[in-house]
Amino acid sequence: MRSEGSSRVSNRLRRAMTAWLAASTIAAAPAGVLAASDAPTLGYSAANMDNRVSPRTDFYRYATGNWLERTEIPPSERDFGGFSQLSVNLDQQLLELITESAAVAAAPGSPRQQIGDYWRAAMDIERLDQRGLEPLQADLDRVATLALPGPAALGELSARLQLAYGVSPLVNMVVATDARNSSANLLMIVAGQQSLDLEDYAKPEGQRVRDLYLAYITRLFQGMGMSAEAAAAGARTVLAIETGISATQLNPLQARDPAVTYNKMSLVEAQALIPAVDLGAMLQAMGIPPPATVQVRDIAALQAVNQVLATRPADDIRTLLRWHVLNASASALGQPWRGYGQEFVRQREGLQSSPPREREITQAINVQLFHPLSKLYVETYFPETTRRDITQMVGHIKDEFEQRLRTNPWLDEPTRAAALDKLARIDIQVGYPDEWIDFSAIDIRPNDHLGNVQRLRAFQLRRQLAQLGQPVVVERFASPPYTTPTSVNAGYNPQTNSIDITAAIVQPPFYVPGADAAVNYCTIGAVIGHELTHGFDSNGRQYGPAGNLRDWWTPQATAEFKKRTDVLVQQYSEFTLLPGLKHNGELTLTENTADLGGITLAHAALKRHLAGKPLPVIDGLTTDQRCFVAWAQMWAYKARPERVRQLAATDYHANSALRGFAPLLHLDAFHEAFDTRPGDPMWRDPAQRVTIW
């Protein structure tokens, strides 16, 4: 989900900054805001099926074919699917709450005052256009007068950039729970992330994006008064620096491996990796005392930043920093700055138009004022009956998982006992937190859009940094845009061994109170099972019941687990997404494991729930058939080629169309329900069906 106050380029930097803190989640990609009239109906419906297609030939087309035929990707969207459509109603509700807040006088510091004044400032286009670069001038002046080489000055500036713009292109500091000691907080030092995806810098097929990026940088530099020649030269400098640093960075698979990223060392040792930036000066500027030990997430990337600072001319460093200030703020400014960023995104992603301003600001408030807006949403739209019903379903699916662990044929007894202990201690909460984060002290003004954005960023970072040296406090539903109450998502956090199921996802069409159990269990129930399985996938299994990174598996159990996951890697790697583009089964293994576990647990819990009850045929489908069709329809999805390629290179989730049918091929019940036979495209030999949990 896009955060207002930055272009999508710099927003990717902030997402990368917090990726290791984000929970494992069900959704492959956040959704946007659309007019309800623009969206085809989704949710389980026989009308979405194409009965001209045999389920034994192409189950995904059989289950979703009519929806695929009548659905067009909106002009301003990269992709569109079930999660997007769930967001349509949500976003209309949020927009109503926001505009209502902007129309009333509210007490200072209250959710309605902050939401309303943020909206007023952001929607005052005339004022934004009139101010031009004025809101950035102080930071642009800091960069222009920066004394180089100057480790202390670079440390202080990195602190300023991270606080005001969400991320520094040089060094960043965040506080996270120590992966090996979940009762302690740890300062993590992270090299500045680059603006493009790693693939875009390195591969020949990324040349189109690189050309667009150069043009975008050039336009912004020219807009601030540089000549065409100087602006183009500056753009080439930025791209060259970013390309060099990106070549050293961990790839998406490595970045998710705690064995690679858990590099704990003294602050002195970390300083030796990047002497060009005074980490002590940066800590002082952020107002936190120097800790004895830190974690360096990507050692090579930090050294690469130091190499740039140590060898590049001072003017090149100023050019990079000037670009960062401009790029990180373009969408919070008036024209032409905002338009330059929108045009780059539109061309890069193959869009026909840019999203409306109302959509951008709704998304921004949802991310930046996440708890004030969520509180209003829950009070207005989330009934306690839904929370109670979903909590009951959670219990059913967790009980099913426990029974399966007790009878799992490949687990040995020591690993089984440890797995049961971990499952019993998973804390699952539904809807919203017991305690809301207090935003009331933040000064949100009706006439200072960029200032509002920056004060909110600084508030979040300072709250996090203040936890250093303090007992760990687990904040629930507090990771925008992943697991806040108004995120269409659910997430598992291995370091807290907990699951947040948001208020926004337990809504139609994924959950309809009183609807057919086959549909509810195999949509929202499968989401619950998916998150439970994350505690036991290739990543989650590395953490114990208290959230500490440790190996609680015997070598025999590890070998049995890997034997099964290796089959998933091989099978998913055989799927073709576009001509010449194969799916990455290794990158998506954890999510594929969770998808398989999710639908397996949901279907088994459904059968247990309905035991002894009548099983009517509805829409000409049996209970099992409706279950599997509902699962596939949840993943109905269309995407532009640019989006497919981007996600294939960077996303831990499989393409949604694959998610709609690939896990089902491992279930005996699916093959029985649709009478698949050897030779059918949907047939999978029992020896090649994987059962993990």
Residue 388: CB atoms within 10 A of its CB come to 12
Q: Name the superfamily (CATH) of residues 8-27+40-97+366-688.
A: Collagenase (Catalytic Domain) (3.40.390.10)
User: What is the pLDDT, as a whole number, of residue 41?
Assistant: 63
Compute φ and ψ for 174, nearest 5 degrees. Answer: -135, 160
| CB distance 82 to 42 below 8 Å | yes
Q: Would you place residue 86 in the very low, low, confident or very high pLDDT band (cuts 50, 70, 90)?
A: confident
Q: What's the pLDDT tens digit per position in 284-312? A: 999 999 999 999 999 999 999 999 999 99
HEC string for 148-187: CCCHHHHHHHHHHHHHHHCCCCCEEEEEEEECCEEEEEEE
Q: Would you place residue 102 in the very low, low, confident or very high pLDDT band (cuts 50, 70, 90)?
A: very high
Residue 281 has pLDDT above 90, yes or no: yes
> What is the maximum span of the chain, computed from C-alpha positions, in angstroms?
78
Full DSSP string of 586-647: TTTHHHHHHHHHHHHHHHHHHHHHHTTS----BTTB-HHHHHHHHHHHHT-EEE-HHHHHHH
User: What is the pLDDT, as a whole number, of residue 35?
Assistant: 38
**Distances in Å between the alpha carbon of 20 and those of 257, 378, 408, 496?**
10, 28, 31, 13
Highest mean pLDDT among 28-37, 76-85, 323-332: 323-332
Q: Look up residue 330 and give its two tokens.
A: 């373009």
User: What is the pLDDT, as a whole number, of residue 16?
Assistant: 35
Burial of residue 240 (CB within 10 Å: 0-12, 13-18, 19+) is middle
Residues 6 or more apart from 229 whose CB is under 8 A from it?
A: none
Q: Would you place residue 27 in the very low, low, confident or very high pLDDT band (cuts 50, 70, 90)?
A: low
Estimate the crossing angle of helix 228-246 against helix 299-311, to 10 degrees. Answer: 140
Give the pLDDT mean for 113-140: 97
d(CA 71, CA 612): 40
Task: Determine the distance from the C-alpha atom of residue 50 to the mean position of all C-alpha atoms in its chain, rounded to a whole number.
Answer: 32
Residue type, 109: G
d(CA 147, CA 125): 36
DSSP conformation class of 549: B
d(CA 518, CA 688): 26
| CB distance 39 to 373 below 8 Å | no
d(CA 69, CA 71): 6
DSSP conformation class of 498: E
Count CA atoms closer than 13 A to 342's CA, side-chain side: 20
Residues 6 or more apart from 355 whose CB is under 8 A from it?
A: 32, 33, 76
Give Rg (Cα) of the chain.
25
Compute φ and ψ for 111, nearest 5 degrees. Answer: -55, -45
Residue 177 has pLDDT above 60, yes or no: yes
Give the pLDDT mean for 531-543: 97
d(CA 639, CA 646): 11
d(CA 236, CA 241): 9
Residues of the chain above pLDDT 90, percent: 91
Of residues 509 and 33, the one with the higher pLDDT is 509
Q: Would you place residue 24 in the very low, low, confident or very high pLDDT band (cuts 50, 70, 90)?
A: low
Residues 6 or more apart from 259 whose CB is under 8 A from it?
A: none
Give the pLDDT mean for 203-212: 95
Q: Look up residue 227 and give its two tokens.
A: 């000549």
Q: How far apart are the first and last CA of the chain?
A: 32
Report the CATH fold assignment for 151-332: Neutral endopeptidase; domain 2 (1.10.1380)
d(CA 397, CA 244): 48
Q: Look up residue 220 and give its two tokens.
A: 């912004």
Q: What's the pLDDT tens digit per position in 395-431? A: 999 999 999 999 999 999 999 999 999 999 999 999 9
User: What is the pLDDT, as a whole number, of residue 194?
Assistant: 87
d(CA 238, CA 525): 47
Residue 234 has pLDDT above 80, yes or no: yes
Full DSSP string of 305-341: HHHHHHHS-HHHHHHHHHHHHHHTTGGGS-TTHHHHH
* Average pLDDT of every residue of the chain: 93
Residue 678 has pLDDT above 80, yes or no: yes
Count CA atoms closer than 13 A to 315's CA, side-chain side: 6
Q: Answer whether 0.85 is exceeded by the pTM.
A: yes
Q: Look up residue 294 and give its two tokens.
A: 């830190």
By three-state DSSP, how is residue 177 classified? Answer: strand
| Neighbouring-strand partners of residue 427 | 498
User: Do the bridges between strand 171-178 and strand 24-25 make them parallel or antiparallel, or are there none, so unpaired?
Assistant: unpaired
User: Do the bridges between strand 576-578 and strand 171-178 make them parallel or antiparallel, or are there none, so unpaired?
Assistant: unpaired
Domain with CATH 1.10.1380.10 in the chain: 151-332
Domain with CATH 3.40.390.10 in the chain: 8-27+40-97+366-688
Give the pLDDT mean for 429-448: 98
Residue 98: CB atoms within 10 A of its CB come to 24
d(CA 382, CA 89): 13
By three-state DSSP, how is residue 206 classified? Answer: helix
By three-state DSSP, how is residue 89 classified? Answer: helix
Cis peptide before 111 (omega within 30 of 0): no
Give the pLDDT mean for 107-112: 98
Nearest to 4 by CA among 285, 278, 304, 365: 365
Give the pLDDT mean for 353-370: 94
Q: How many helices (H) and strands (E) does the chain have?
A: 30, 12
By three-state DSSP, how is residue 78 classified? Answer: coil
Task: Determine the distance from the C-alpha atom of residue 239 to the mean position of all C-alpha atoms in its chain, rounded to a whole number.
Answer: 26
Full DSSP string of 426-446: -EEEEES-SS----TTS---T
DSSP conformation class of 492: E
d(CA 253, CA 23): 16
| CB distance 346 to 354 below 8 Å | yes
User: Do the bridges between strand 490-493 and strand 24-25 make them parallel or antiparallel, or are there none, so unpaired?
Assistant: antiparallel
Estimate the crossing angle of helix 589-610 against helix 384-407, to 10 degrees. Answer: 100
Residues 6 or more apart from 141 whose CB is under 8 A from it?
A: none
Residues of the chain above pLDDT 70, percent: 94
